[in-house]
Chain A
Amino acid sequence: MDLLTALIDPLRDLPVIGVFIKLLRGLPMTLMLVVPSVFIGAVIASLLAFMRFSRNPLICGFARCYISIFRSVPLLVLLFIVYYGPGQFREFLTNLGIYWIFRSDYLCALVAFIINTSAYGAEIIRGAVLSINPGQIEAGRACGMSRWLLLRRIIIPIAFRHALPAYSNEFILMVKATALVSIVTLMDMTFIAIEMRYRTPAQNSTVLYCLAAIYFTINYVVAWLFKKVEYRVSAHLREPVTNVLSPDTQPTL
């Protein structure tokens, strides 16, 4: 019975509700990192994706290098480069007048996250554009659409729909990535959890389980929201709902 009591024991030491409330104080930081970085990242990613389609070898090459480099650097390394790196060139950057960006913990983390997510997002968007049926683009051209009209009416709406499932994954990866900012001492949920764990006398790990539960819930909600949006934008692909028994579909005299 010793093993069983030891497994239940952590729950007795800490009132779990209190732990959740304390951890949730870090939630605004997590959201403030994820939401702007994914949205700004998506804008940069679309630019990169279209640069990748460019026939100019310089533009295409730049985008290709950017994507392959930042996809193979771990986010933690990127975070450390942006966070600690500029200290080495302090005078130079102060003269340039941009050192203030690197003075703020939050902006540093945001910059690192945007660079990372834009590289991954660019590949997702490129894949989505490539999966458009060429017939649809030809049809647009045949109707005499200009490049921009074609982009606005045909390519962007279809690519958006194709990119949604993969982007939902990317969003979840970013939510999970925000836990890394605790290593550079930003006060997010993970940081609070680790602090709390050290301060409780028995150092039990209930806090970590609560933390995991919160992240899991956030990701569940994100996945659910993306499914909702996907359902909304694919109305024309669904089977029509024909409910013969409902009174409004009955023919009336």
Chain B
Amino acid sequence: MVADYFETMGFGPNGWGWVMLRASGMTIFLSVTGFFVGNIFGALAAIAKLANNKVLNVVANTYLNIVRGVPELVLIYIVFYESSSLVTTIAQTFGYPEPIFLPVFPVAVTALGVISGAYLAEVFRAAFLTIHKGELEAARSVGMAPGLMFRRIIIPQVLRYAVPGIGNVWQFILKESSLISVIGVVEIMRQTKMGAGSTHKPFTFFITAAILFIVIAFFTGVGFRKLEQWSTRGMKRE
């Protein structure tokens, strides 16, 4: 059974090894880009939620509550189906007659970005709230402009406190990226389904998918732990 497994999953002429590795690369690339976009969404949402402006607060809260209360799969379907029709409608108002179909990859990245952004916003907000008020006052009293204060005082500390939370969201989004298979990006899950279908060895393939996810999660987890140690190196040890 083990020999059979390695023959199916190996790198030989009939092996699926390279194909699975390429799919893993796609999963990592997809998650990293989605996560990167999510950081931008998350930072904007966190700023909007912390702002002294009722409208911005309501917008940010609506975004966060909707994303956290609606299944990710449903969000992915909505982003997938609506993005094309929205772009088509906008194009039609400017006089472009043909329907437009967006390529799948950017849609997938947007979906992952929207989802991870909501969770990251909470992480950033919590990290911002741990900054001591006196530090902000001190920065203001030496005459720092808001932009300078943001860059020199807020960003370094927020990132330091946010590292563990960001790591959690990364693990979460890595696993969510498997849902992207439903809209047709060939990442681990999609590739595994195809492999299982054409070889009639579903167990072999799905177990491999699980192992690949565990391996990626493990190594990135180690990376985040290192990053956490590095970012808190100047702080008092408990």
List the interface of chain A (C-beta within 8 A of B): 2-3, 6-7, 69, 72-78, 80-81, 84-89, 172, 175-180, 182-183, 190, 193-194, 197, 203, 205, 208-209, 211-212, 215-216, 219-220
Contact = CB atoms under 8 A, between A and B. Distances in A.
Contacts, number: 119
**Dominant SS among interface residues on chain A:** helix
Interface stretch (B36-44, B63-71, B141-149, B154-162): B63-71
Cβ-closest 8 pairs across A and B: A179-B71, A72-B217, A84-B202, A85-B203, A74-B175, A176-B71, A88-B203, A74-B178
B228 interface: no
B89 to A, nearest CB: 5
Contacts of A69: 214
Contacts of A180: 71, 73, 179
Contact of A76 (B69, B178, B202, B203): B178
12 contacts: A72-B175, A74-B178, A74-B189, A76-B178, A85-B202, A88-B202, A88-B204, A176-B71, A208-B78, A212-B75, A215-B74, A219-B69
B210 A215 contact: no
Contacts of A87: 202-203
A73 B214 contact: yes
Contacts of A89: 203
A77 B189 contact: yes
Contacts of A6: 89, 92
Contact of B196 (A84, A86, A178, A208): A84
Contact of B210 (A3, A78, A183, A205): A78
Contacts of B196: 84
B93 A2 contact: yes
Nearest to B199: A88
B81 interface: yes
Contacts of B179: 74, 76, 180
A150 B207 CA distance: 42
A72 B92 contact: no
A179 B74 CA distance: 7
Nearest to B217: A72
Given A179-B71, A182-B73, A208-B77, A77 B171 contact: no
A135 B88 CA distance: 65
B206 A85 contact: yes
A37 B213 CA distance: 23
A216 B93 contact: no
Nearest to A1: B93
B90 A3 contact: yes
Contact of B89 (A2, A178, A219): A2
Given A2-B89, A76-B178, A212-B66, A86 B203 contact: yes
A197 B202 CA distance: 30
B93 A190 contact: no
B82 interface: yes
Contacts of B214: 69, 72-73
Nearest to B201: A88
Given A205-B81, A208-B81, A209-B78, A73 B213 contact: yes
B218 interface: yes
A175 B189 CA distance: 22
Given A74-B213, A77-B210, A78-B210, 9 more contacts: A72-B217, A74-B178, A77-B213, A81-B206, A172-B68, A193-B74, A208-B82, A212-B74, A216-B65
A176 B72 contact: yes
Contacts of B204: 88
Contacts of B81: 197, 203, 205, 208
B123 to A, nearest CB: 14
B59 interface: no
Contacts of A211: 74
